[in-house]
């Protein structure tokens, strides 16, 4: 007899869940059974749009519901901890949107609670599931470009060319920036830092120049790092480009990655946005370019693959790529950059504490 589908609930059905819902539609492993949000108007809209008839404004009703197996936490970051810990204590499998928490202490507490179980836990970061990035990782592991020497991430954020994010979803980010956790490094940057670790491993030390050109925009910035177990050096350059038309169905974020090896090159030319019409993944070696233009390149594909991996991992009784421990590692990397930018010195992720971050941000 086929196993029954897992039943999922969302706590928080805000802007990002528009990309989560298509992953649940027609998924063989999981059905979206219950929606929770304190915003009743939004709940009514999602119920109508998605046809999920069970809704509640009280998260405790989600945790007490014995028919729910898996809880997704999609609220603003500073609210993640309470929902994650209570859902784990209620015996649910828990998926939380990145970044896991706003401090290392909170993130470590959540990761430790998740390890005790009984439910499985993961922190969704969709970039490592983006098909061109998945293929690039395969090429790296197959040694297609030899030993990696440098990896360079580039982010250009624009203001127009994509849809408008609802003001309500933007406002809480302003309060985050006041605490030093800006959009480009701590929030959206989480994806790039996650990918940097996913491709080449643990980070040893970082240096950074970080400016603030506009509101909560922590850019322009130039960030450098070295890896712990590899010779490779990494960099991440960030620029706010207010007058650049940034073509995207999602957010005006133009991302590119260049990876240089001893015998070849890999170029990843898009992710959230698509401002150039090049193939998403290009490999150069032995005097020849290979264009991977058959890959799925719509950013939605990264959410669909990432979200569907979790119920499969639960069934197969395995971790996903994005464990609580990995989330803590990414946060350490992000905080090391924030501290390095503020103090103007090299910082090792391993030395970062919440006190050091507070001192660096508030003086
Ligand atoms: N993967 C990505 O690319 C990506 C992009 C954007 C946002 N995110 C992450 O997703 C999370 C949510 O971001 P968003 O842009 O959807 O924010 P949002 O403000 O649009 O949505 C958050 C929702 O949580 C609800 N909420 C708040 N308190 C609640 C409570 N006590 N009970 C139930 N619901 C509650 C709010 O009413 C709101 O609808 C954040 O962690 C953010 O970093 C990820």
Ligand 1 centroid to residue 9 C-alpha, Å: 14
pLDDT at residue 215, rounded to an integer? 62
Q: What is the pLDDT of residue 166?
A: 86
The answer, yes or no, to whether any atom of ligand 1 lies below 6 A from the CB of 102, is no
CA of 187 to the centre of ligand 1 (A): 12
How far is 195 from 272, CA to CA, in rounded Å? Answer: 14
77 CA closest ligand 1 atom index: 41
pLDDT digits (tens, 9 = 90+) for 211-263: 876 666 788 999 999 999 999 999 999 999 989 999 999 999 999 999 999 99
Atom of ligand 1 nearest to the CA of 169: 19
Lowest mean pLDDT among 26-30, 215-219, 266-270: 215-219
Domain layout of the chain by residue ranges:
6-127+303-321, 131-297+334-343
The CA-atom distances, in angstroms, between 261 and each of 58, 139, 152, 197, 233 are 52, 11, 12, 17, 11
Give strand ranges (E) for 60-147. 70-73, 93-97, 121-124
* Element spanning 40, H or E: helix 40-50
Check pLDDT > 70 for residue 127: yes
Q: What is the DSSP letter of 58?
A: -
| Nearest-CA residue for atom 6 of ligand 1 | 16
Fold classified for 6-127+303-321: Rossmann fold (3.40.50)
Kindly report, residue by residue over 312-358, the tens digit of the pLDDT: 999 999 999 999 999 999 999 999 999 999 999 999 999 999 999 99
pLDDT at residue 1, as a whole number:
45
Best CATH choice for the domain 131-297+334-343 from the list 3.90.1150.10, 3.30.420.40, 3.30.565.10, 3.30.360.10: 3.30.360.10
331 CA distance to ligand 1 centroid (A)? 18
């Amino acid at each position: 007899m086929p196993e029954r589908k897992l039943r999922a609930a969302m706590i928080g059905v805000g802007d990002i869940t528009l990309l989560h819902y298509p992953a649940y539609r027609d998924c063989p492993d999981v059905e979206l059974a219950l929606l929770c949000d304190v915003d009743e108007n939004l709940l009514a809209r999602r119920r109508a749009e998605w046809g999920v008839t069970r809704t509640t404004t009280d998260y405790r009703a989600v945790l007490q519901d014995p028919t729910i197996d898996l809880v997704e936490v999609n609220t603003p970051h500073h609210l993640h901890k309470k929902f994650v810990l209570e859902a784990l204590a209620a015996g649910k499998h828990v998926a939380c949107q990145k970044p896991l928490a706003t401090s290392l202490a909170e993130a470590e507490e959540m990761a430790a609670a998740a390890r005790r179980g009984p439910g499985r836990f993961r922190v969704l970061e969709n970039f490592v599931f983006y098909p061109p990035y998945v293929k690039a990782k395969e090429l790296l592991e197959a040694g297609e470009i030899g030993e990696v020497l440098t990896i360079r991430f580039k982010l250009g954020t624009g203001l127009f060319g994509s849809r408008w994010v609802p003001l309500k979803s933007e406002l809480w980010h302003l309060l985050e920036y006041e605490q030093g956790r800006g959009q480009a490094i701590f929030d959206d940057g989480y994806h790039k830092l996650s990918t940097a670790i996913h491709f080449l491993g643990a980070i040893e030390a970082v240096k950074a120049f970080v400016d603030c050109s506009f509101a909560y925009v922590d850019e322009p910035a130039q960030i450098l790092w070295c890896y712990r177990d590899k010779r490779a050096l990494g960099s991440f350059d960030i620029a706010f480009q207010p007058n650049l038309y940034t073509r995207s169905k999602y957010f005006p974020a133009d991302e590119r990655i260049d990876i240089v090896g001893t015998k070849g090159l890999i170029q990843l030319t898009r992710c959230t946005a698509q401002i150039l019409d090049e193939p998403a993944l290009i490999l150069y070696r032995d005097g020849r370019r290979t264009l991977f233009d058959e890959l799925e390149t719509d950013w939605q594909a990264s959410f669909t693959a990432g979200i569907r991996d979790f119920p499969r991992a639960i069934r197969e009784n395995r971790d996903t790529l994005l464990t609580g421990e990995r989330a803590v590692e990414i946060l350490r990397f992000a905080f090391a950059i924030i501290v390095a930018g503020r103090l103007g010195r090299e910082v090792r992720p391993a030395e970062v504490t919440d006190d050091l971050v507070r001192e660096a941000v508030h003086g």
